[in-house]
Amino acid sequence: MIWATPILAGFVAAIAVPSLVILYFLKLRRIPREVSSTLLWKKAIQDLQANAPFQKLRRNLLLFLQLIILGLILLALAQPRSTATASAGRKLVILIDRSASMRAVDGDISRSSEITRLEVAKERAIGLVEGLAAPSLFEDSEKADEAMVIAFDRSAQIVSQFTSDKTALITAINGIVQTDGPSSIEEAYRLAQSQRPNRIFIDTGSSGEGTDPVEIEGIKGGDAYFFHLFSDGRISDLDVVRADEDTPDAPSFEYHAVGDAGAVSVGLTALRAERDYEDPTKLSVFVGVQSTDPLARSVDAELLVGGAVVSVRSVVLAGAEVDVQTGKKKVSTGGVVFELNEPNGVVVGVRLSTGFGNESSMDVLGTDNSGTLIVPPAKQASVALVTTGSLFLKEALTGLSISDLKVITPGEYEEMRDAGEAGAIDLFVFDRAMPRASEGGVVFDPGRYLIVGDVYTGPGGMIDHGDGPGTQIINWRRVHPLLRDLTLDAVVIGKSRTVEIPDGSELVSLAETTEGPAIIEMSTGDVRAVMVAFDPAFSNWPFDVSFVVFLASAVDYLGTQVGTDVDVNARQITPGFVLADRVPSDAGNIRVRLPDGSMSSEIIAAPDGRIVYGPIHKTGVYSVQWTGSAGVSDVEDDGKIIRHYAANLLDGPESDLGAAASLDLSNRVVSASSKGEITRLKEWWPWLLLGAIAVMMFEWWIYNKKVYL
């Protein structure tokens, strides 16, 4: 039991209690009245005798009841509270995980109805808020607890700044919306730390009267923070969190675990479509599946094209095992490949049928059981090689599966450009050359370009420092569709070219040597170009198989645009990220249709056609719609141009649903609180006031009975 305002109650008691007792010593002065008989006033005469001043007090039930009433009121004024929480005045940061795994319906297995982990997390967070030390009615409000609420998945959002208003905090918690994104705590933790003041207090010794605030860059000061994390613990980057030293009253970081530690799930972790290089009408859909069930099982994977099931394949998954060294569960993985003939652009879906057949192994998360791919139509590119003579490039391109190969000189290219015939070519490959700038200063007309042995140095282009020494490729983007099938560490360059990407440029380095960028991508509006800075003739690259594979990937990536790797062309998005792409320069009235059918507000494109929407929070198919010209794989419908995007979870750690018993922070291991139970702060003063009112009613009944007897 603690008392919020005991001193105030003591002052009031020192005045009120003696005053009440003195009232019973005072003699009441009454006006004399003549009456015909005093027979009926006998009781009143006795009262007058009892009110004589300074007489010894007799036992008086009314005085006793009034003292009880006054005592209850004084106790209520002291605001007694029973609590197991720390002292008042703390700053709490409430972190609530809203990621995809928190949609699992095992939030509280003691309930008969299905309830998600997020719903339980919100209930427990509200319990924590209700237990905060409230502002006193009579003391400085700064002594109350304050809390800030942050909801996070991959991104984070402050839904309530620091406040002691419990109603505002509870409203903010109830307003947190479930998302389908993976979980990451880094941004949430940084948001919380950013609220600390950039001041610390040190003794300057100048005045000798206390401390002075001094601002030091990079050092945060202010009151200690008490973090409360409500999550299932399926967070991959907990090592960014550093817990402060615990206080005698409470731990600085508390983990409130929600969900079943033994929960199992089967989910999609990979989804990819590729067209056959020789025959693009043949489409292969690769499906990766993961299981955390210790029992071996077989699940059905259904392939949907245009919403209709066209094929069903069985995926056999072994039972998940426990690593004897780490003690952690090792998930079981499997996969299947669907083959179909589909020359047209289609929306391909994959759905898992995960009926486990027994309640103990129920799949409690449905978000990871389906996925979608946006597959552009089949196409073979027409390629023009612009060269003054190159044996390596010509021979390599001749062996590729392309619809047409033209070998032209730089002069013939300029003639095609002036005649307006360049638009018929899907891909121009420039050999140690660059297009000439037009009279308006335009170097690249709308189109796709592969430049080998030269770089663009115009506005927004590279900084060229000239020839460099011999070197080799030391790093490249292995997930990029242009380079994911390559191994470049054997490429040795005899004469390099030292180039630099200027600060703020939209150019992207795809491969690096010890001297700087070696392969660069440029994408601006209707132009996309890939530049190889060095001349392959001064390297061993043409004699390595990776050279031919690189050219084939470049034709596919730049010329046909049928690649479905959405890390680059943004046709597939992971929830939590933004939808970013470029639309034609004449696009207008740009809007996004969401999976639920609703439309976003109008999006204004940047001058280069770039649009950004998001972050995306739900899985499903998104469609960007506009009026204007269409791209290669865009669809026209009722006067509008439509471009589809797919948002899928496809995250193995997020599909591993067993709630963690502890968290590995950067500086300590934090165990889950005992079943996430929250001790609430109990206010007793309302009950004391109710008691005072009840005694007052009894006193009123006694008084009336005494008077009217």
Tokens representing residue 341 in the block: 């003939």
- CATH of residue 392's domain is 3.40.50.880
Parent domain of 620: 567-647
424 burial via Cβ count (<10 Å: 0-12, 13-18, 19+): exposed
Sheet (strand 2-3) strand order = 2-3, 80-82, 682-683
Rounded to an integer, what distance in angstroms lies between the CA atom of residue 99 and that of residue 153?
Answer: 4
Kind and range of the H or E run holding 614:
none
Report pTM: 0.69
In this predicted model, which residue has the larger pLDDT, 144 or 498? 498
Residue entry with tokens 């610390």: 200
Rounded to an integer, what distance in angstroms lies between the CA atom of residue 447 and that of residue 530?
Answer: 12
393 and 523 co-located in one domain: yes
Tokens representing residue 66 in the block: 């009034």
502 and 627 co-located in one domain: no
Mean per-residue pLDDT for 412-440? 88
Per-residue pLDDT tens for 485-497? Answer: 788 989 999 999 9
List all residues 6 or more positions away from 324 whose beta carbon is below 8 Å from its beta carbon: none
Rounded to an integer, what distance in angstroms lies between the CA atom of residue 53 and that of residue 475?
Answer: 103
What pLDDT does residue 93 have?
Answer: 94
Task: Report if residue 294 sits inside a domain.
Answer: yes
DSSP state of 179: -
Name residue 524's amino acid: T
Task: Report if residue 51 sits inside a domain.
Answer: yes
Number of domains in the chain: 5
440 and 550 co-located in one domain: yes
357 and 387 co-located in one domain: no
Per-residue pLDDT tens for 520-565? Answer: 999 876 788 999 999 998 999 999 989 998 998 888 888 875 433 3
The conformational region for residue 218 under phi > 0 = left, psi -120 to 50 = alpha, else beta, is left
- Quick one: pLDDT band at residue 484, thresholds 50, 70, 90? confident
What pLDDT does residue 43 have?
Answer: 57
Tokens representing residue 190 in the block: 């940084």
Phi first, then psi: give them for residue 288, nearest 5 degrees: -110, 135
Task: Report if residue 375 sits inside a domain.
Answer: no
Is the pLDDT confidence value at 237 over 50?
yes
Cα–Cα distance list, 92 to 142, 249, 665 (Å): 14, 13, 18
159 and 43 co-located in one domain: no
Rounded to an integer, what distance in angstroms lies between the CA atom of residue 527 and that of residue 707?
Answer: 101
Rounded to an integer, what distance in angstroms lies between the CA atom of residue 381 and that of residue 298?
Answer: 41
Tokens representing residue 112 in the block: 């008969």
- Quick one: pLDDT band at residue 1, thresholds 50, 70, 90? low
Cα–Cα distance list, 138 to 6, 7, 72, 142, 164 (Å): 11, 11, 18, 12, 15
For residues 621, 337, 477 and 458, what is the CA-based torsion angle, rounded to 10 degrees? Answer: -60
What pLDDT does residue 85 have?
Answer: 46
Rounded to an integer, what distance in angstroms lies between the CA atom of residue 494 and that of residue 469?
Answer: 7
What pLDDT does residue 333 have?
Answer: 92
Instruction: Classify 79 as helix, strand or coil.
Output: coil
299 and 249 co-located in one domain: no
Cis amide leading into 615 (omega within 30)? yes
What pLDDT does residue 638 have?
Answer: 85
What pLDDT does residue 107 have?
Answer: 65
- CATH of residue 317's domain is 2.60.40
486 and 608 co-located in one domain: no
Cα–Cα distance list, 227 to 250, 296, 489, 668, 670 (Å): 10, 40, 46, 14, 12
CA nearest neighbour of 104 among 367, 369, 329: 367
Q: Contact, 542 vs 492, CB < 8 A?
A: no
Per-residue pLDDT tens for 8-29? Answer: 667 677 776 677 666 665 555 5
Cis amide leading into 53 (omega within 30)? no
577 and 555 co-located in one domain: no
611 burial via Cβ count (<10 Å: 0-12, 13-18, 19+): buried
Question: 113-117, 133-137, 508-512, 577-581: which range is least confident on average?
Answer: 133-137
Task: Report if residue 377 sits inside a domain.
Answer: no
Per-residue pLDDT tens for 35-74? Answer: 665 555 555 555 555 444 555 555 666 666 667 777 777 7
Kind and range of the H or E run holding 462:
none
Rg (CA), the chain: 38
Per-residue pLDDT tens for 246-265? Answer: 776 678 899 999 988 888 88
249 and 231 co-located in one domain: yes
What pLDDT does residue 642 have?
Answer: 93
Find which of 389-398, 438-447, 465-474, 687-696 is predicted with most confidence, using mean pLDDT.
465-474
514 and 597 co-located in one domain: no
Q: What percent of the chain has pLDDT over 70?
A: 76
Phi first, then psi: give them for residue 243, nearest 5 degrees: -80, 140
Per-residue pLDDT tens for 570-604? Answer: 488 889 888 888 888 789 999 999 999 999 999 99
Rounded to an integer, what distance in angstroms lies between the CA atom of residue 415 and that of residue 411?
Answer: 6
Mean per-residue pLDDT for 626-634? 82
What pLDDT does residue 58 have?
Answer: 59
- Quick one: pLDDT band at residue 140, thresholds 50, 70, 90? very low
Angle between helices 61-77 and 6-23 (to 10 degrees): 160
Last residue of a domain, one of 368, 395, 410: 368
Phi first, then psi: give them for residue 192, nearest 5 degrees: -65, -45
What pLDDT does residue 566 have?
Answer: 33
What pLDDT does residue 190 have?
Answer: 92
